Amino acid sequence: MVDNDLLVNDRSSVQDMSHDDINMEAVVFNGKELTLKYVKDFPIPKIVNDTDVIVKVEYSGICGTDVHIIQATYG
């Protein structure tokens, strides 16, 4: 079920949230090197194409198996 209140149909309202001088905290996963790193001043994403979306994550979790895969100790 989709909450229509969460949908943003006006691209300009989302674009207003992205400022060049404002950064955010992020955890960045590098799939090629299988590394995770915390970045305090990560650039806020921008809408560039009509098919782009920005998703605000309020909570996240990671499975213990994922940790083992990242650490190359699984299997």
Q: Domain coordinates of the chain in residue numbers?
A: 4-70
Three state DSSP letters for the chain: CCCHHHCCCCHHHHHCCCCCCCEEEEEEEECCCCEEEEEEEEECCCCCCCCCCCCCCCCCCCCHHHHHHHCCCCC
Q: What percent of the chain has pLDDT over 70?
A: 71
pLDDT tens-digit map of 36-71: 889 999 998 899 999 999 888 888 888 888 778 777
pTM to 2 decimals? 0.46
Task: Check residues 75 and 29 and name the one with the higher pLDDT.
Answer: 29
Region 9-33: mean pLDDT is 69
